[in-house]
Amino acid sequence: MLPTRQQDSTGLEEAYYRLFREFFDKAEKKRRWSIRDDIPWDQVNPNLNPAIADVLETFCTVELYLPDYIEKAWPLLRNSRGRIWFHANWGYEEAKHSMAMGDWLIKSGQRTEEQLREVETQVSQYQWKLPQDSAIGMVLYGMTQELATFLHYRNLRHCVENEPGGDPALSKILKFISVDERAHHNFYLNVAKLYLERDRSGTIEALRRVIHTFQMPAVDMLADSRRRVQAIKELKIFDEDMFFTDVVKALLFELGIEWCEFRQRKPNRRSISAPSLP
């Protein structure tokens, strides 16, 4: 006998929560870090290339939309224990990232507290909106965005370490953040595999929509957004080629999806048949 929709939904929920507990237990054992105690703040380099500080400010500013990221997704997650607790944990870690980057900008002398407060004021004037309107869409967007974000931080760290004298404090911050972002990506990846098992063609169609409309969160809402994006490209932190090679192709490999299968569009299909989360 085939499982009923309710049974399949219950099984998905149970698997989702197990994935969250594995994620959380591993984070508690291996990934937790302290802004105050684990960063060598006495080794901040005040002479680091100002372009690196500009990019870091962009990353820090994007993180300031965290209240929107939490609030807007909450209605999609409210009745799913695994999803809601992961999102809460994710919010805690993203808040830590923002604080660590802000502290470095101030301690390095690249920004003043007043300048960062002005940025916060600018951010508060706009609201970020969900890039997808379904549970599966947000899972696949999160999977894609977290991998792209990992690459941003990893590549920025390479830039820092190639600077004369480097900056051990910023390098350590970026290393911690990169590991966190990769862990977030892996969680979403494992959830995406649950959906693939239940509705392969529908999940691939949803992934296709995510990839074709993908944008990094909130960057286009920032003042001087074009200049900020160009600075990221000029430092070779992230660009369209990297997105295709290191994100899209990497995702398809991790999910076991062949390129020809990904390209097989089904125009008449409007939604996936996998049970959506409440």
Cβ-Cβ contacts under 8 Å for 84 (sequence gap 6 or more): 74, 77, 78
Q: Classify the phi-psi angles of 165: left when phi > 0, otherwise alpha if psi is within -120 to 50, otherwise beta.
A: left
- The count of other CB atoms within 10 Å of the CB of residue 276 is 15
Specify the pLDDT at position 1.
39
Amino acid of residue 127: Q
Integer Cα distance of 99 and 107 in angstroms: 12
Handedness of CA 231, 234, 237, 243 (dihedral sign): positive
Q: Copy the structure tokens of residue 10.
A: 């219950």
**pLDDT for 239:** 92
In angstroms, the first-to-last Cα distance of the chain is 24
278 residues of the chain, pLDDT tens digit each: 334 444 456 788 899 999 999 999 999 999 999 999 999 999 999 999 999 999 999 999 888 889 889 998 888 888 889 999 999 999 999 999 999 999 999 999 999 999 999 988 888 888 888 899 888 999 999 999 999 999 999 999 999 999 999 999 999 999 999 999 999 999 999 999 999 999 999 999 999 999 999 998 877 666 677 888 888 999 999 999 999 999 999 999 999 999 999 988 655 444 333 333 22
Distance between CA 10 and CA 248 in Å, rounded?
31
**Could you give the CA distance from residue 63 to residue 201 in angstroms, rounded to a whole number?**
34
CA distance 18 to 70: 22
| pTM, 2 dp | 0.89
pLDDT in the model for residue 200: 95
